[in-house]
Amino acid sequence: MIPAFRPEQVLAAITPQARDEPDSGIVKAAMHGFTVPGVIPLWSGEGTAPTPEAFARPAAEALLRGETFYTWQRGLPELRQALVRYHARVFGRSFDVENFFVTSGGMQAIQTIVQMVAGDGEEIVIPTPAWPNYAGALRILGSRPVEVPMDFANGRWTLDLDCLFDAVTPRTRAIALNSPSNPVGWTASLEELTAIRDFCRRRGIWILADEVYARFYYGGKGETRAPSFLDICEDEERLLLANTFSKNWAMTGWRVGWLQAPRALGPAIERIIQVNTSGTPAFLQRGCVAALEEGDPFLAEQVAAARRCRDLAVDRLRGLPGISFEVPPGAFYLFFSIEGMTDSAATVRRLIDEAKVGFAPGSTFGPGGEGFLRMCYLKDTRKLEEALGRFARWLEVHSPV
């Protein structure tokens, strides 16, 4: 007879990394929130608009046409060429088609980078608060996130570059920089990017650049993107960029992204893709071509809507007692502290149950995040207004925990 194993025994038989990885506080909030009727969800990083038909139709047609086979490991040539054209438009630079690799979401671009550069026990330095999947992806693979808290003082987030550089040791393989940042919206200036580039060049380490929110930038007039490492780095240097279709073109559920890397890494990246997903579905990639080729007006509308939502959220939160935050120059989140709050996860739970509004807890974003909540404000404005009203009414009579 096959012996029955108790759950603890089964769990004891897997790797400690898989067993002990903490839950994402964002996912935890969402999973709880799904069970509570009537909650307005502001926990995850996506808007309310579904993917436009102009991008969805080519994918649906390709599926029906029978594009259901294994495909190019690096992505469809048509999509990679469309990426070259997109980058020429947005960054005014011509890249080679061999610099682009299609992945299953921005997340897999990050995972591929980590698998490629950080071995067992090696480190990647990450400013925090940061999207928790970075630290998670590293720990799962046996490498180590070294978290460097940013400062929040006088209503402003700043990154002390000396602290960032001091965290680099002989075990460090990369500095990961997410700009504009999730969750705080902090956006690196060209001078800061240049200092990081120069430091990484001197130390011979990689830059892991996450610019997935680059287009959601509310900086100077007429600027259509945030400053980028692509403005200052050479074609074939130690720069790996993770990007995604998710945010710009309302395609979070598609799980398609891309990785931009030196050409020489092509065979290595292809092998990593082979053993992880064996490629991104070809029919989905047809929709991504349409997003790149026809999606500029939609993206411009999304960014304008995000700016309006940001201003609305800022206006409503500003009047509330005990709340502080920086008006974020980029991305689509508001990261705000509540005076007296020491357990953001418990407060998020109470807000879901009692106020029917769903935020993400600051604690999940690593050192410097506790005491804050994150809201994604890229929502239908009436819903956003209603959610902010619920929060304000809750705060009048309750105290955070």
Q: 194: which residues sit within 8 A by CB, 6+ positions away?
A: 232
CA separation, residue 193 to residues 165, 167, 168, 226, 314 (Å): 13, 17, 16, 11, 28
CB of 251 to ligand PLP, least distance (A): 8
Phi and psi at residue 222, to the nearest 5°? 80, -5
| Residue number with CB closer to ligand PLP (107 or 303) | 107
Closest to ligand PLP by CB, 140 or 346: 140
What is the closest distance, in whole angstroms, from the C-beta atom of residue 154 to ligand PLP in the complex? 25
User: Which is closer to ligand PLP, CB of 25 or CB of 257?
Assistant: 257
Taking the complex as a whole, the smallest distance from the CB of residue 131 to ligand PLP amounts, in Å, to 4
212/226 with CB nearer ligand PLP: 212
SS3 per residue for 42-77: CCCCCCCCCCCHHHHHHHHHHHHHCCCCCCCCCCCH
Kindly tell me which of 105 and 400 has the beta carbon lying closer to ligand PLP.
Answer: 105
- Residues lying near ligand PLP in the complex (CB under 6 A) are found at 45, 105-107, 131, 178, 182, 210, 212, 244, 246, 252, 257
- The secondary structure of residue 352, as a DSSP letter, is I
Minimum Å distance from CB 22 to ligand PLP? 17
How many CB atoms sit inside 10 A of residue 374's CB?
A: 30
CB 137 within 8 A of CB 82: no
Task: Answer whether 231's CB lies under 8 Å from 90's CB.
Answer: no
CB closer to ligand PLP, 100 vs 131: 131
Please report how close the Cβ of residue 256 comes to ligand PLP at its closest, in angstroms: 7
C-alpha of 193 from chain center: 18
Q: Considering the complex, what minimum distance in angstroms separates the CB of residue 394 from ligand PLP?
A: 26
